[in-house]
Each structure stands twice: as structure tokens, then as C-alpha cells.
Amino acid sequence: MMPLLEVNNITKSFGGIRALNTVSLNVNQGEILGLIGPNGSGKTTLFNIITGFYRCDNGKVLFKGEDITGQSSHIIAQKGIVRTFQHLALWRDLSAFDNVRIALLTRFGLSIFGSLFNTPSYRRKKKKIAEEAMVILQFVGMEQHKDQKADTLSHGYQRTLSLAIGLATRPPLLLLDEPITALNPERVKHIMSLLNRLREQGSTILIIEHNMRAIFNTCDRIVVLNAGKNIAEGTPQEIRENKEVITAYLGEAPDVKY
């Protein structure tokens, strides 16, 4: 079976610094793939190349078998690759409900003409969007916060809202950049549970994260980068026992129990 996403021999330099050196990975339909490595290993740079924010120097990115290398970020998003960011991109003066509702607009194709003349088609779509926004908020456990402005939510709920916005477009592939960083254990458990539920529903997820307990307990496979290069790939058990990974990322004597 063809992978949903294929990243082949990606190289990227900034000035004289090589951030990525022939990095490759595949993401299969319906799996959660973890991407880990020390700070500066090239993880977010790779995300930026996959999603069209950076152009690579060499290599290819294939999505559903199509070469999307170098295409603009909005075109890649339209094709079905949606990401969240380390630094949350929210409409901070709007409610949680309106944040999700806005994210749904492009999928439903509401027209300016329809809004001006309040056509029956526009009213039906508007109602459907409101209903689906509530379904998404309920799915992520935020229905009680639907009327709260994004900038007044706790950091954990802002992270959850960012995930809800990503889900609103029903992407074939969801890229998550450190979705549980700095969250308390309760919110970490909640978000990772959501990811498991998404996988059960057929979603495909590529996730960058430094929380090793969450990564090892959730991901089907893990790819490890160090200094811009692939150093390991395998199941959580295989990565857990890989000496090069232990040295480069986990440390010589990791004190985390998985």
C-alpha cells in the first residue's frame, strides 16, 4: 500500500548551516507517527517544508502519490495537509465557538453573494456550520467553554482549541507541532486520548513532541532525528531500546518509565 505521505531525501540549509541532511520518512494511512529528536535536530524545519512554508534545497515530498514539493502552503492545505503550530494561531478576541466556526467556512464554501442576500442555501450552510462547530467542541471536551474568548482560556484549553480548529477541516493528514508542551498531566492525558480516538476513526497524524511518555504510549511508529539526520525508525519498543537514540535524545540513564 502506498504511504499517505512520502518524504524523500530532504536537504535544507540556512546560510552555511545544514538544518536537514537527506531526511526521509513515510506516514501510512491511519497511523500516528511520532517525530522526535533534540532541540535543533530539524523537526520543525521538516514540518515547514512538508507544509510549504519553506522550500527544500533537494529532495521530494509526495502526498497521495502526488509530488507537492515547493508548492505554496495554502495549496498544500487545500490538498489535505493541515498543521498546528508551537505558537498558537488563534483568533484571540473571538469565542472558542467562533474560532471553530471560522475554520469551517472554507470547507462549506459560503459565498459573499449568499451572505448579502441571505439565500436559503446560505442559511442552510450557516446552520450546518454552527451544528458541526458544536460537535467538534464536544468531541474535544470544550462545549462548556464555547462562549469564552480564546485569549481568556487557560494555556491547556488554548492548545485544545488549536486542535479543534485543525479538526474542523477534516484533513486527511494532521501535523501537530508540540501539542502538549507545558501542559499539566490532566490536559496531556486528555489530548493524547483525543488522538487515539481520531486514529480509531481513521485519521492520520504526524506529531512532534518532547513528552516521551506520551509519544511512547500513543504512537504506532517513531522517527528520530539528530543534527538534521535520520538516526532511527521503528516501533516505540524498538526506539526505546536503541542505544543511539538513548545517547542522542533520552540521555544515558533515562529516568522515565514507559
The DSSP output letter for 248 is I
Does a structural domain hold residue 100? Answer: yes
User: What is the total count of domains within the chain?
Assistant: 2
Residues 198 and 155 in one domain: no
Rounded to whole angstroms, the Cα distance separating 209 from 13 reads 23
Residue 86 lies in a domain: no
184 and 56: one domain?
Answer: yes
**Last residue of some domain: 126, 153, 170?**
170
The verdict on 144 and 192 lying in the same domain is: no
49-100 pLDDT, tens digit each: 999 999 999 999 999 999 999 999 989 988 999 988 655 678 888 999 999 9
- Residue 230: inside a domain, yes or no? yes
Same domain flag for 165 and 179:
no
pLDDT at residue number 109: 62
- Its pTM stands at 0.87
* Torsion angle of C-alpha atoms 203, 205, 211, 217, degrees rounded to 10: 50
Q: Which pLDDT belongs to residue 32? A: 97
Among the three residues 136, 154, 170, which one is the final residue of a domain in this structure? 170
Is there a domain that residue 258 lies in? Answer: no
Q: How confident is the model at residue 116 (pLDDT cuts 50, 70, 90)?
A: very low
> Do 18 and 52 sit in the same domain of this protein?
yes
DSSP 177-205: ESTTTT--HHHHHHHHHHHHHHHHTT-EE
| 17 and 129 both lie in a single domain | no
Single residue among 139, 170, 201 that ends a domain in this structure:
170
Secondary structure class of 158 (helix, strand, coil): helix
Position 117 in a domain: yes
Rounded to whole angstroms, the Cα distance separating 175 from 32 reads 10
Helix (H, G, I), strand (E, B) or coil at 19: strand
Assess if residue 130 is contained within a domain.
yes
Q: Give the mean pLDDT of the chain.
A: 87
Expressed as residue numbers, the domain containing 143 is 93-170
Task: Read off the pLDDT of residues 165-206 as tens digits, 9 standing for 90 and up.
Answer: 888 888 899 999 998 888 889 889 999 999 998 998 889 999
In a domain, 116, yes or no: yes
Are 99 and 130 members of one domain?
yes
User: Pick from 217, 231, 193, 254: which is nearest to 43 by CA?
Assistant: 231
Helix H or strand E encompassing 245? helix 243-245
* 176 in the same domain as 164: no
My answer on whether 163 and 184 are in the same domain is: no
Cβ–Cβ under 8 Å, residues 101 and 130: yes
**In 15-149, where do the E strands start and end?**
17-27, 32-36, 58-63, 66-67, 81-83
Same domain for 220 and 162:
no
Closest-CA residue to 163 (of 224, 106, 207): 207
Domain presence at residue 7: yes
The CATH number of residue 27's host domain is 3.40.50.300
